Chain A
């Protein structure tokens, strides 16, 4: 009986940690979904751009011993800028109807960014600063890690800021108009190219925060992070439904929690196998995601 309680508590602890860390997956998922909403195309470079942004943040840390908060801010800005470049290179001048060309361009850019990082860092992982790494909150049986709580709080704040821009400002209204009916949006006076570019920058800002958070939670920044974050981002986007922001938030938390439960039950070697199976389960049984609806455009 005592064993059962210990297991239940440890499982609860796993779920709590997973939900907190899952908030970074939610951010990445929102980024994928925002860009999909605007372009109706996947941007496979997104997670790599997020990690690249974190590397730029790390430069500020290593050479100027900047405060971790500033490191996060620089990561975010750098990732936003990279997002703009990705838009210009992989989307802006490629014909709208050529979905495959844009997809391949972003896959190419993903590998390109990875190669650049590997070249510059000699593929060795670098220590990344964390905030509140030593703090923890004791809730009796379970406890909450300070760094994860910070990650969660920052993700919530970023998401809230995004939702504010999207639903309460003129820029957000234009973005939603473009994603729903881009021909009519142009003829309502909206510069579609500029709006799309802005969407990439905004998604990049979120991605940079997520990239820096991931590095802070893991403790190191490594080019090996791009693949798992890309995969998790895609899973979250599929589970949440392409184009759905609430879906991405819920799915991000779900995938974070599920990942930790699999880790607890089956160990670190098998964890990702089950997480990936989630992708196929959803693609087969709920291809439109948990909410079954995406932003549409004719």
Chain B
């Protein structure tokens, strides 16, 4: 009797900026079939859009090139296939750069790139609005028209179907733009097991597997509060792998001889991360019910996941719109014992008085005392009068770049003309940042038609 077939999907990046070592370690530490790399957070698309405006060959997650380079032998010699949403707002440029890289390494013949297109709604935005798609803000109900002239990017979250198509057509590197994070794990499973579009429970299992590993090591010991002191060797933390069976049950694990820990607790912490209504985890592929998930310890660093139920997806896709929303800057200074908090409070008063006198206009001014309740507020209780130091952190946001710029010049003077025992200003003047805000919306699925281009 043969053992049931298992497909191994490894997670190698949980966001753009994650550990550069992880992809290579995932393909060299033990057997894996697929490597999924998640690069896109809510605001990443707008950053990439700005890069593309400056240079039409950019607009994708450039870290991806280093990742591909580090795993190229596994792709060409051992058949590991890579699925990544690294394409950002320019998947074709990303594909061209990967092709160039493979050519430089004499490996081009072994690389078949599938590019998923169709998520980018920016070129169609006015036509969509004119055709009666309001793209209203999901949180406020406001129609997109109110910020239309400030829109930088607009992308629909695509599900797993176009990635499955790319894999079926033989791609061993699939590059997408704004796919859902979970689709990157789901697609290899659908491709391997042929799960039908109405096999809701298995599709939901694929979504849960994707959710567990989409944040990289955050399910395998990283950022894990449970028993954190005794989680071994985070310096060599193992990134997660799901070993999935055709029936949709799976085991979360990591390679042997790596640090971190996979336990029911580490997995459960990740399951509740960024959770909304657990009964309805909505994706373009299926709605997964997180209240049906069963976890069971299955040996060292192994957690079995089963019991997951799903139901049909909605008729909509989520759209992420990024728009320009003014400017902001944050300045900091450090005040030392004695009376560190009192001095920082006094400096805050002086600074605010000066900002008022200058007649600067801001939508928001926020002061925090880091070390004295910045993250827990009043819940932390009154700060000890004996604190060795506290950081004054003051931020402003507004529509006038000039006013925000002026604010950044009011921090340093406090060192010589404000309250005493102040330090920590070596970083110089704070930078003015353009604020690119996020506008979540829904759109009728039928008007978004993803396509796949093989290169």
Is the pairing of A and B real?
no
